Amino acid sequence: MAKAKIHNVLFVTTEAEPFASTGGMGEVCSILPRALNKTKKTDARVMMPLYEEIAYRYKSEMTFVCNITVALAWRNQYCGLFRMERDGVVYYFVDNEYYFKRNNLYGYYDDAERFAFFSRAALELIPYLDFKPDILQSNDHLTALVPVYYKLFYKNVTGYTRIKNVFTIHNINYQGIYPTIIAGDVFGIGEEDLPLVEYNGRINLVKGAIVACDKIATMSPQYAREIRLPEFAGGLDGVLIENRQKIVGILNGIDVDEYNPKTSASLFVNYDADSIEKKKKNKIELQRMLSLPENENVPMVCMIANMVAYKGYDLLRKSINKVSPDNILDSGIQLVILGQGDADIERFLTHVQNMYDGRVRTLVTRNNDLTRKVLAAADICLIPSKTEPCGLTQMYACRFGTIPVVRATGGLIDSIVDCGKGDSGNGFVFEEYDSDVMDKTVMRAVDMYRNKPLWNALVKRAMDCDFSWDKAALEYNVLYRVLAA
């Protein structure tokens, strides 16, 4: 029997943990390649920019590969390549100090040029790698030019033919939109090729990637369906419908070792599904740490999410602004909110903490250690997102025995099954994006929390859920096999 072909996949991304990450994409582009390599059916590697912080912390562990000159429009820029291996994954780092030696990853006036350079460099460097990619997997708008450039400039070049492109949509709302006047000067795309990236009179890089790529991967099956609807597509529903045969939805997993209440060093007290009673000790210690009244029996609700509107903070605001006794904070709960983002949301939630000092704590930060502490202490995790490509928090919450209350959208509905009267499922689900509906669902969870036998059985079912990357890795292997056939 012939040995199954190993597919070589190069993830081209602007983020990958632990090197540089602002959220879910950074985690996916680190853990998914690791899970793929464990299957022995894929050689998955990662290419990303050599940001200043990465160079400072890791450059001594890297090996210099080469340096070349990369052409971008009228520019000819230095490009260095470094290599290192970590956790069974080979990482390639693209060096250019002018573009990447900066304090932050994003937020600069020339971000379009910076990541156009990175996308072009990723393709130019292929002949210098110690493996030949069968598949390029680019991620979101900042690397959307990879399939575009491949289609325009590389697909018929010796050494590049037969490479397939997978474009991964982590969030369709970020599309890389620019005025068409910069197409030639910044992106090096001539007027004759402009229709590939032009949409509604502007450059739209995600539109170009959708058209140019071979397959589109989304973070969950439900999100693959939702992005074809006008209310979710950010204006690209027509393009996505035309290219619907390319779309594949594969539910993300989580790093079950990093998020393990039995071993996590962040917790006050470790526990597992067979020692759920120890979870209460984490609640008491967090209450003490946050100067909340110490009571192991009070239902603690947490919300851990970037403070942006689509995460459902507008619903929470409406719930908190209701007149007593309809105000959710008058229901006998403690509420712990963790995240940062929109300044108006941050100010409002800080104000809420001041108003309800003994019931609310607002922690305006992104902190993995604190995230684990809150998840271990809380009983209920509120995730009322308007849209959610996948969502990882609901999986983390299950892992820690903190029951998710989620809205039925995207990966939330793909991973959380409503428990009904408590004899099945792993959480609570509400359909309508409405604060009254959300409040009723939270109170349904609070009521069940007071029925200890039912609640403990629900907690055990949630903790026993398998949200590892193993299943997703197998599904990606199928996708790669079909593409490479």
**Chain centroid to CA 271:** 27
For residues 114 and 145, the answer to whether their CB atoms sit within 8 Å is no
pLDDT digits (tens, 9 = 90+) for 304-360: 998 988 899 999 999 998 877 778 888 889 999 999 989 999 999 999 999 888 899
DSSP state of 154: I
The CA-atom distances, in angstroms, between 438 and each of 98, 171, 314, 316 are 48, 24, 12, 9
Q: What angle do CA 309, 377, 352 make, to 5 degrees?
A: 40
Residue 50 and residue 263: Cα distance in Å, rounded? 32
- Whole-number average pLDDT of the chain: 93
The residues that bridge with 336 in the sheet, in sequence order, are 302, 361
Across 462-474, average pLDDT: 93
With tokens 């072909």, the residue in question is: 5
pLDDT digits (tens, 9 = 90+) for 21-57: 887 888 899 999 999 999 999 999 999 999 999 999 9
Question: Which segments of 356-429 does DSSP mark as H helices, in order?
Answer: 368-377, 393-399, 410-415
pLDDT at residue 101 greater than cutoff 70: yes
86 Cβ contact list (under 8 Å, min separation 6):
none
pLDDT at residue 177 greater than cutoff 60: yes
46 Cβ contact list (under 8 Å, min separation 6):
10, 11, 13, 16, 29, 30, 33, 89, 90, 91, 92
